[in-house]
Amino acid sequence: MLRPFGFVLVVVVALVAVVSLRGPSMTHVLSTKTYEDLYYLPPPDMLQVLSFGHREAAADLAWMKGLVYIGNEFEHRGALQHVFRYADTIVALDPDFRRAYSWGATMGLYRPVSPTLDDAVRAVSYLDHAATRFPDDPEIAWQRAAAWSYELPSFTQDVEEKKRFREIGAEHMVLAARLGGGPAWLALTNATQLEALGQMDRAIHHLAEMHAMTQDEELRAQIEARLEQMRADARLEALRAAERELLEDASRQYPWLPIDFFVLVRSPRPVSSD
C-alpha cells in the first residue's frame, strides 16, 4: 500500500517543482529574448519547401513580418541583424517582387546602427540584381546609380576605392539618364562627373545623346550651352597638349634653339598607321 502512495507523492512533488520553476524559467527566457530572436527567419531554401508551392504567398508573409521587424528594430535602435535574411528570403521566394530589392538595399544602408562597408556593398547588390531582373526600369536604374555614386564612397576613406565606386556609379548614371530615370538635370550632372573623371569625350557624347532624346526645351537649351562650353574647353585642352608636346620635343632635340627656330627645323613625328 505504501508503494502507490510513494509514487503519487513523487508525482505531486514533481508537478509542484515544475509549476514553481516554470514562472522563473519563462521570466528568464522573456528577459533574455531580443527582437532579433523573435523575428528570426529560417533559411530561404527551407521556406521554399515549407511553402508547398505557394511561394508568392510565402513571400508576402515574409514581407509583412519583415516590415514589423524593421519597425521594432528602429524603435529599439537594434542592429537589423536579420535584414539581409528577410530580403534574401523574399526575393528567393518571389524573384519578381520588385519592391523587395529596393527595400533590402534601403534597410541595409539606413539603419539605427551604422553598417560596415561590407554591409553597404551587400545592400547595394540588391539593386544590382534588380537592374538585371528589370533592365528597363528607370527608377531602379536611378537608385542603383545613386547608391554607387553617393552612398558607397561615403563608407570608405580609401581614395582609390572611392574613385572606383564613382567610376562604376558614373556608368550607371549614364544608363539611368538614357532610361529616363532620376531628375531632369541628371544629364548635366553626369557630364560634370565624367569630366571630373577625365572622360571629356564621353561627357560630350553623353550630352549630345541626351540632347537628341529630351523634349524639354529648357533642358535642351541648358545642354546646348554646356556642350558649347565643353567643346571649347576640349579644343583649348587639345591646343595646350600640342603646345606641351612641342616644348618637350624642343627640349629633347635642340634645347639651345629658341622655340620659333625649332618650329622650322623640328623633326616631324611619324604618322601612326592607326
- Range with the lowest mean pLDDT among 32-36, 71-75, 261-265? 32-36
- Range with the lowest mean pLDDT among 64-68, 133-137, 139-143, 247-251? 247-251
Nine-digit cell string for 121: 556593398
CA 116 remoteness from chain centre: 13
Q: CA-to-CA distance for 157 and 11, rounded, in angstroms?
A: 67
Are 148 and 165 contacting, i.e. CB atoms less than 8 angstroms apart? yes
Whether the CA torsion 53, 55, 57, 58 is positive or negative: it is positive
CA 274 remoteness from chain centre: 39
Pick from 229, 179, 174, 231: nearest CA to 206: 174
Whether the CA torsion 62, 64, 70, 76 is positive or negative: it is negative
Average pLDDT over residues 7-16: 50
Average pLDDT over residues 216-238: 75
Q: CA-to-CA distance for 224 and 218, rounded, in angstroms?
A: 10
Q: pLDDT at position 97, please? A: 92
Residues of the chain with pLDDT > 90: what percent? 21
Average pLDDT over residues 100-122: 90
pLDDT one-digit tens code per residue, 143-201: 999 899 889 999 999 999 999 999 999 889 888 888 887 777 777 777 777 777 777 77
Q: pLDDT at position 20, please? A: 56
Report the chain's mean pLDDT, rounded to a whole number: 76
Please report, for residues 149, 186, 191, 203, the alpha-carbon distance to residue 86 in angstroms, rounded to integers and kept in the order given: 26, 33, 38, 40
Nine-digit cell string for 38: 523573435
Whether the CA torsion 210, 213, 219, 220 is positive or negative: it is positive
